[in-house]
Chains A and B, each alone.
Chain A
Amino acid sequence: MSLTLEELNDIAEKELSRQQQFSRQIRVCCAASCLSCQDADLTQQLQQTARQQAMGETEIKPVGCLGLCKEGPLVSVHPEGTLYSHVQINTSKAILLSESSLPRPSAIDPGQSLFFTRQNPIVLRNSGSINPERIEEYIAVGGYKALYQAIRNMHPGEILSQIQQSGLRGRGGAGYPTGLKWSAVAKTKSTQKYVICNADEGDPGAFMDRSVLESDPHSVLEGMAIAGYAVGAQAGYIYVRAEYPLAVQRLRTAIRQAEKFGLLGNNIFNSSFHFSLTIRLGAGAFVCGEETAIIASIEGLPGKPRPRPPYPATSGIKGCPTLINNVETFANISPILTRGSAWFAGIGTDKSKGTKVFALAGRVKRTGLIEVPMGTTLREIIFDIGGGISDNGTFKAAQTGGPSGGCIPKQHLDIPMDYESLASIGSIMGSGGLIVLDQSSCMVDVAKFFMEFCTSESCGKCVPCRVGTMQMYTILDKITRGQAQLSDLEQLEDLCDLVRSTSLCGLGQTAPNPVLSTLRFFRDEYISHIQDQHCPAGVCSLLTGK
């Protein structure tokens, strides 16, 4: 079946009038974080209570991530907008009923909380407001209209120039201009092309892609279909890690629904454009986030990278031109087409446009999923949105970019979060993991943690990454045990240079970053471990015995 615009509008209107029957809407966060701390199925429990009390005018629905993960399980009540935190079965009744005798969960007014007011949701526009398992709700908020516009009213070249003018850059970490990437694939003459959505999110502490897929899977599907049309691809893969069962389940549901409505498949919107999507599960290898490794894995080969060029844009899956973008990149596409590239380019900084989703984690009062304009300072993110350091601690560093990134110290708290600024101080934007560290963290230990991660996640194909990371880990381990000498530090820096300059893929080339950045800003801690056998943070316990 193929939809017409009228039919699409019809679905939206029907859904809106269905929603208007209810005077009150109770949204229960059903993303992985809140689900994991519910003591029973909250949605079901609330629905049951509403039934018992014959509250027909109240709609209770599961929604995606409400953002403030630290305070979960979260329930938000509309139209007031009140957000209830730490809702459990015994306190849930009070949300529905006004009896004062019932135990009430604590309430937050999002309009008054910096956590919410400082954000600018584009990627997360529907997160926490629509039921991710109902395509009707996505259509009701204007979903798939951009796809219609693209297919029926736009030439692929127009889409490419819109994306290019918007200044959107890859949200997977490297920040390659998305428009250029699309154009490179569009330019190729092949009749068979592919689109891949990289959802193999693997940085420790990162959960942006998972939340987007769990909260608004259709925005990713729509972005992929538009990409398919723009570059001339008929098939796409979503490479998602098997460790995200809920995201996989919601993606499956979303694809099934989109196929049923004719939004994926043959002759979409009665055009000659066909686009089908397949889910591929990753088996938990971090290196499979590297684009040539992802392709190998989708082809059924071991997930190991190969040297580029040829780039996937010219030779990807089965040697065909292949476009690979991150989840968040695809989620940005439909708003850019709907609201125009000029609108998007007006957000952010000179070279980094739009917003960035961060997974705010670590020693910060309000952890959760946030989306801020590019160029927001680290200080605003941690102290305004995050509410400062938890347990009255003092800020020590913020780790961005996971195992490929670095640590940002106190003196750089006012750094604007954009690609260039972060790179200038030896860190990277990365995919959006942001871990806040306080005085209780030992920076040598942090570097060791990430090096251990790289050692175990190295695919083993090239020598510098396979053996070099192991040798670096050995030295870091020696330092944390108080058995190192200053010459080891020299050796460590030498290895950083070797591994960075000679490794085959991005994993190895960036693996030294956590070491290099901690050495740059916290060298005194390394020296203290080596010369005084003393760990300033008191983390490396083997030292204190001496």
Chain B
Amino acid sequence: MTDHRLQNSVRQRHSLHPEDIVTLVIDGQQLTADPNDTLLTIAQAHNIHIPTLCFLEGISAYGGCRVCLVEVEGYGKLVPACLTHPAEGIIVRTQSPRVIEYRKKIVELLLSERNHICSVCVTNGHCELQQLASTLGITHIRYPGLFPSLAIDASNTRFIHDPNRCVLCSRCVRVCAEIEGAHTWDIIHRGIKSRVSADLNQPWKEAVTCTGCGKCVQACPTGALSEQGKAVGEMLKKRYTESTT
């Protein structure tokens, strides 16, 4: 793990000197914050909701889903709230029409990428992608579905990996590597052909590094990783709190 990822995952809390505090504005609210925190955690602490998908508290931030993009006045580009630290005096907008529109399109792109048919999914009703789409008011997908045909890996006696539901958020990869320390999962290939795979592209059952802990299944935001024997809508992910909506 590289240093910056480590720094992200282990957030240091210590008593702050006044000069170590920055002031910023998020959606009109004047706030003070620790400059080591991210815009996302600062917003969360003040009940400002920024939608996320690849972010999961307790593991390193990834910055891949682009759902938490926010506008910062004076910055040329939109920035991911999960990885951006506050600078003194910045003005952040998390709900500008522009970012809301981009978020919608990004989630629609995700929905078009693979086979996200909720009515036949084990996580129907408990899926973060589904909740995200509904919160953003997505009623239809403007992009044609790509529907690749990807083989389901049900070789593991306890779990199922269905890449057709995968959003490549890499939460399984990070929770396995950073919390369990096994690093069974990783992403192989690149671009649109990217896929999550166990060990050196082995069937899950044959992945010798897998400890069978099941953290990946619980960390997965969608029905891509689920427990065996669940019918439609029966797969509830065990987390300390209900997933973000």
**Interface residues in chain A, defined as those with a beta carbon under 8 Å from any beta carbon in chain B:** 285, 287, 296, 299, 301-302, 306-307, 310, 315, 318-319, 455-464, 466-471, 474, 491, 494, 498, 501-504, 509
Contacts and interface: CB of A to CB of B under 8 A. Distances in A.
Given A471-B112, A471-B143, A464 B106 contact: yes
A122 to B, nearest CB: 32
Nearest to A500: B77
Contacts, number: 101
B106 A463 contact: yes
Interface of B: 2-4, 62-66, 69, 77-80, 83-84, 102, 105-106, 109-110, 112-113, 142-144, 146, 167-168, 186-187, 189-194
B187 A302 contact: yes
Contact of B64 (A455, A457, A461, A498): A461
Contacts of B190: 285, 287, 457-460
Contacts of B64: 461-463, 504
A307 B105 contact: no
A466 B192 contact: yes
B144 A460 contact: no
Given A458-B190, A460-B191, A502-B102, A467 B109 contact: yes
B2 A299 contact: yes
Given A463-B106, A498-B105, A502-B66, A455 B192 contact: yes
B2 A301 contact: yes
B192 A462 contact: no
Contact of B69 (A285, A460, A502): A502
Nearest to B169: A463
A189 to B, nearest CB: 16
A502 B191 contact: no
A491 to B, nearest CB: 7
B110 A501 contact: no
Contacts of B191: 455-460, 466, 469-470
A501 B109 contact: no
B135 to A, nearest CB: 17
A84 to B, nearest CB: 45
Given A460-B191, A467-B113, A319 B106 contact: no
A504 B63 contact: yes
Given A474-B144, A501-B77, A462 B66 contact: yes
Given A302-B187, A463-B106, A501-B102, A318 B3 contact: yes
Contacts of A302: 186-187
Contact of B63 (A306, A456, A457, A460): A306
Given A310-B4, A501-B78, A460 B106 contact: no
Given A299-B2, A463-B65, A509-B77, 5 more contacts: A307-B63, A460-B192, A466-B113, A467-B146, A502-B69
